[in-house]
Each structure stands twice: as structure tokens, then as C-alpha cells.
Amino acid sequence: MTKSESLRASSPPREPRAPRVLVLAGEPPPELAGVAAEAELVCIPEERLAAELPAADVLLVWEFGTEALPAAWPEEGGPRWVHTASAGVDRLMFPALTESDVLVTNSRGVFEQPIAEYVAGWVIALAKDFAGTYERQRNRIWEHRVTGRVAGTRAVVVGGGPIGRAVLRTLRALGLRADLVGRTRREDDPELGLVHGFDELVSDEGLLGQADWVVCAAPLTAETDSMFDAAAFSRMKRGARFLNVGRGPLVVEEDLLAALADGRLGGAALDVFREEPLDAGSPLWTAPNLLVSPHMSADTDSWLEDLAEVFADNLARWRAGRPLRNVVDKKLGYVPVAAGAPAPDEEGNR
């Protein structure tokens, strides 16, 4: 496919009328008030999805944790463009959608720096044992102790997309020596020069065994599902810390618990889980040296407005027949690094 053909494939036809935009949300998001002037917004709960989808031009998956879309997808008709208010698109990668010519876009650009800041906070908190300090404060125990350094330690960030790259830059700013791992090895990356491949994680001289910190920010695909299992944890340096801000199914949680219990891992932090919300009886809540947060690493006080802005920008492009931003490669299951925005010569400016 030529460059011009590729750009046309990510461009919708010009939309002369106000499109019918189906918004999957329990209540109308007030952040979309500005969009209402440009489109016919129809806000629906999951139970109405199957009935409303055939007449929709666009589907905005505002409640991105939904599992209802595969069963509700129409055999005929339906939207020509699906946008999700999330970075991950694994819940949209079902056959009827991936095998169609429907465009899928995500909300890349909203989450990268907030997640990077969250990871940096976790790294400092684990190295400085803030949890131990707080526990001693609660119990009024004055106990001097030493903690670890961050600068000079080594991190491996798994996930070569924008989130992984933002994490890498932020950790390097803290003085860590950090490497990025993507799906395949690249030695000519425009930003980093070298990006390692997944296979380099687990080789005999692999990156896992050299890292003090392993940060998982990868998308969930068939290749990455359960990639952090007992074998992966066994290759890590004893006392290393593991952090996951990618997707819960990337980690075999029983194996993580075992690695924490036997001291292979010196600590861990999880923001995503196989089953969410995390069951109150899960052993993860009380595991030693484990920080648990409820899938909130990207969520800041302005994130909903930011999500609405990304969609509004793409809707304006859709109506004008211009290429959309953040078009997902449905075969890969994510937005390729070079495809987040249209090429400058297509846009005229950027």
C-alpha cells in the first residue's frame, strides 16, 4: 500500500450532515456538551446498545470498560467509526469489528504523562519505603532506617508505544538508566535509536536479569497475554521491583504473589488486574511489599475534558473528510508509534 493509499484508508468520507453519534455511557457526559452542536448525540446504557447500533454513524465508547460490544454488534448497518475513551483497545478487537472496514481510534495523547508521573511516584515510594514510614507514623514508632537510591539504578520499560516512551523519559529524568522494549528490535528509532525486542527480555543474557525495575506498559495482544509469569519472574534480579500500568492479563497474578512471597521480587505495584474491580477477598490486597491502586494511574482532575477534546478534534476531521488521529491497526491491536497523527504534508500544518 502506498503512502497516499494508506492515508485514504484512514480517512472517512466527507460527512455533509450532522452525524448520529451513539455515546455508550450511563449518563450524558457533560464534557461532551460542545460536541452536541456538531452532531446528534444519543447517550445510551449497555442494554440499549444492540437496538441503537444499526442506525449509528459513529460509536463513542465512553465507558471503555464495557464487555457488551461484541454481542451487540449488528450483522448489517452500524457505525463506520468507533472511538474509545481509552488507550487500550483490546475490548474492541473482536472478529466482527476487526474484520470489517470500520475505523477504530483511541484516545492516545491523554494518558501518557499522567501515567509516567504515576510510575515515577511508585518508583520513589518503593525505593524510599514510604509505606513503611506511614505505617510507623500510624503506630507512633520513631525508627531511623536507611532507604534505597533511585538515581543510578536500571529500569526496563516494556511497551514501545507513547505511554512506555513517556515513562522512559520520566525515569531517565530521575537519573535511572532505562531501556525500552517493543514488539520487535529497532536500531533506527527516531527518538531513542535502539528499541529492544520482546525476545531480548528472556534470553540468557536478557534484560530482565539486569533490571532493578521492570515497568510493564504494553498493550494486551495474543503475544503479550500472560507474558509476566513464573518463568519471567524467575529471570529477574533478586530484589527487583515490578510495576504494571498496562493491562491486568499481562501478568499471571498467582506467579507474582509467589515471587513476592519467596523474595524474588523486592516489591511490586499494580494498577490493573485480571478481574476489575479487585475482589475484596483477593490475596493481592495483603501481599507483602505490594502497592494496589484501582486502575487510576492515568486519571487526573482534567482527564474527562481531555478525552472529550480528543474526540471533538477527530469528529471535526470526520465531518471534513480529513484523516483521523490515532487510527488503530486492527491487526496489531494498537496505534503504531508513527501513526498517531496524519503526516504533515497531508495536514498542511500540525
The answer to whether 346 is a known catalytic residue is no
The pTM score is: 0.87
Residue 13 is predicted with a pLDDT of: 58
Kindly report whether the peptide bond that precedes residue 277 is cis, defined as omega within 30 degrees of 0. yes
Residues of the chain with CATH 3.40.50.720: 3-110+301-347, 112-292
The answer to whether 8 is a known catalytic residue is no
Is domain 3-110+301-347 annotated with CATH 3.40.50.720?
Answer: yes
Question: 112-292 is classed in which CATH architecture?
Answer: 3-Layer(aba) Sandwich (3.40)
Chain centroid, CA 302 distance in Å: 18
175 Cβ contact partners less than 8 Å away, ≥ 6 residues apart: 150, 151, 152
Residue 10 is predicted with a pLDDT of: 58
d(CA 279, CA 293): 13
Strands across the sheet with 154-158, in order? 186-189, 193-197, 177-182, 154-158, 213-216, 240-244, 265-270, 290-292
The answer to whether 144 is a known catalytic residue is no
Set 295, 309, 319, 346: catalytic member:
295
Q: How far is CA 230 from CA 186, 211, 233, 285, 297, in A?
A: 27, 17, 5, 20, 25
Sign of CA dihedral 198, 202, 206, 209: positive
Residue 86 is predicted with a pLDDT of: 96
Set 247, 264, 317, 325: catalytic member:
247
Set 135, 254, 275, 276: catalytic member:
276
User: Could you list the pLDDT tens digit for every one of the 350 residues in the chain?
Assistant: 444 434 445 566 555 579 999 999 989 999 999 998 899 999 999 999 999 999 999 999 999 999 999 999 999 999 999 999 999 999 999 999 999 999 999 999 999 999 999 999 999 999 999 999 999 999 999 999 999 999 999 999 999 999 999 999 999 999 999 999 999 999 999 999 999 999 999 887 789 999 999 999 999 999 999 999 999 999 999 999 999 999 999 999 999 999 999 999 999 999 999 999 999 999 999 999 999 999 999 999 999 999 999 999 999 999 999 999 999 999 999 999 764 444 333 332 22
